[in-house]
Amino acid sequence: MTAQEMIKPENQVYSRTKVLTDNVMHYCPGCSHGTVHKLIAEVIEEMGIQDKTIGVSPVGCGVFAYNYIDIDWLEAAHGRAPALATAAKRLNPDRYVFTYQGDGDLASIGTAEIMHACNRGENIVVIFINNAIYGMTGGQMAPTTLVGQVTATTPYGRNVELNGYPLKITELIAQLPGTCYVTRQTVYNPLTARKTKRAIRKAFENSMLKKGTSFVEVVGTCSSGWKLTPVDANQWMIDNMFPEYPLGDMKDI
Rounded CA separation 102/145 (Å): 12
- Distance separating alpha carbons of residues 238 and 234, to the nearest angstrom: 6
Residues in the chain: 253
pLDDT, one tens digit per residue, over 189-248 is: 999 999 999 999 999 999 999 999 999 999 999 999 999 999 999 999 999 999 999 999
Judge contact between 178 and 121, C-beta under 8 A.
Answer: yes
Residue-range domains of the chain with CATH: 28-133+168-243 (3.40.50.970)
Task: Give the pTM.
Answer: 0.94
Q: What is the DSSP letter of 220?
A: -
Nearest to 29 by CA among 179, 221, 201, 213: 221
189/207 Cα distance (integer angstroms) = 27
Taking only the tens place, the pLDDT of each residue in 39-95 is 999 999 999 999 999 999 998 888 999 999 999 999 999 999 999 999 999 999 999
Packing angle of the helix pair 190-206, 33-47 (nearest 10 deg): 50
pLDDT tens digits along 153-191: 999 999 999 999 999 999 999 999 999 999 999 999 999
In tens, the pLDDT along 50-64 reads: 999 999 999 888 899
Task: Name the amino acid, one letter, at 162.
Answer: L
